[in-house]
Amino acid sequence: MNIMKNRSVLMGAAFLMATSAIGPGFLTQTTVFTQSLGASFGFVILTSIIIDIGVQLNIWRVIAVSEKRAQDIANILLPGLGGFISLLIVLGGLAFNIGNIAGAGLGLNALLGVSVTTGAVISAALAVAIFLIREAGKAMDRFAQAMGFVMIIVIIYIAITSAPPVGEAVLRTFVPQKIDLATIVTLVGGTVGGYITFSGGHRLLDAGIKGKDALPQVSTSAVMGISVASLVRIFLFLASLGVISKGLAIDAGNPTASVFQLAAGNLGYRLFGLVMFSAAVTSVIGSAYTSVSFVKSFSPKIEKNENKVIIGFILVSTIIFILVGQPVKVLILAGVVNGFILPITLATILFAAYKTRIIGDYKHPVWLTCFGILVVLIMTFMSVKVLYGMIS
């Protein structure tokens, strides 16, 4: 693989992971948490970035060096575990995809004034078109990069327009007035939970970037993915902080749209539509691609017809949204499922990192292992706590 093509795939995998993370929930969470924590939310973002990088490096490096997808690694460790993880990923991915389709519809509604349902259908058609192209992987990489750059540029503009108190934000990032563990866990789950962290890892594998020799490139791509998602989060935080610091009231019904509108008027509202559409449609593509990548190794027919299965996944998500509307309860449940998926998959990867039949003579960094164990313990505790709260 030549250097330019290699670089394109590495960037594509990074942006696929990042844009999979940056969905409607990501945008709303960032605004809501800025409202509740103010400038101290910077500390939460910084902490989650450090954890996200640790999680992503653990998973991507082991996938690359084993030259196997996550479900195949799991099945080698414990027969049947890969199937169980794949089921969780696909169910969670489908539930979130329904929300992503809804978000894309809302985005086009704000941007162009079309109905939410019409916007959802247009968005689904665009996502399907990506996988009708002969070189779908390359098209997906380029689309993710283009939409990622659009989101970054627009959100930077809104952040500048809202004139946030940057000095206070920097101070409270390192000396917070409030620390909220649940918020940190929510951000981690939303950035590297469920299917998200595997989207880029599996994409690199499919593109042939694997083995010990590729580890420096894989690590660079992994950090780049977290950096892109974090850049969007930081500037959205600053935009929200600028609005809040002026004492302006944010509409609880659509907080992110409210921030954009208060910062830049009607143009801001249109730009919110562009960002929401970009975030949602790339998440639709990332979720569908990654969910199918978790089941294609179980059947030669699925592997042979991968793009058709991905298209089917997108169409089913769209039809459910049109028939049911946005299934809030399903999305909440999917959030809990994602909270459980991360510790299960990360623990699996950490065990695999010390099995020579999976990774050969590769030596996994001790600091990454320690990081991973800590994340598994914290995410398991918080997920059980949330599930207990829902049941009781």
Task: Give 4's pLDDT tier (boundaries 50, 70, 90).
Answer: low
Residues 6+ apart with CB under 8 A from 175: none
pLDDT for the residue numbered 384? 78
Residue 46 has pLDDT above 90, yes or no: yes
Residues in the chain: 392
pTM for the full predicted model: 0.89
Q: How confident is the model over 176-193, as a mean pLDDT?
A: 83
DSSP-based three-state secondary structure for 361: coil
Instruction: Please give the share of the chain, as a percent, with pLDDT higher than 70.
Output: 93
Which helix (H) or strand (E) segment holds residue 312: the answer is: helix 306-324
Question: What are the structure tokens assigned to 371, written together?
Answer: 């990081």
pLDDT for the residue numbered 333? 57
The CATH number assigned to the domain holding 97 equals 1.20.1740.10
Task: Give 21's pLDDT tier (boundaries 50, 70, 90).
Answer: confident
Task: Give 329's pLDDT tier (boundaries 50, 70, 90).
Answer: low
- List the helix and strand counts (H, then E) for the chain: 17, 0
Report the range of poorest mean pLDDT among 59-63, 193-197, 213-217, 347-351: 193-197
pLDDT for the residue numbered 327? 46
Residue 328 has pLDDT above 60, yes or no: no
Residue 67 has pLDDT above 90, yes or no: yes
Q: How confident is the model over 166-187, as a mean pLDDT?
A: 89
pLDDT for the residue numbered 332? 54
Q: How confident is the model over 41-62, as a mean pLDDT?
A: 93
Task: Give 3's pLDDT tier (boundaries 50, 70, 90).
Answer: low
Distance of CA 18 to the CA centre of its chain: 6
Q: Tell which wins on pLDDT, 189 or 49.
A: 49
Q: How many CB atoms lie within 10 A of CB 211?
A: 14
Q: How confident is the model over 52-61, as a mean pLDDT?
A: 93
Distance CA 93, CA 297 (A): 17
Whether the CB-CB separation of 23 and 288 falls below 8 Å is answered with no
Q: How confident is the model over 247-274, as a mean pLDDT?
A: 90
Number of domains in the chain: 1
Report the candidate in 202, 257, 241, 236 with the shortest Cα–Cα distance to residue 56: 202
Task: Give 390's pLDDT tier (boundaries 50, 70, 90).
Answer: low
Q: How confident is the model over 85-100, as a mean pLDDT?
A: 86
Mean pLDDT of the chain, nearest integer: 88
Range of the domain at 73: 3-391
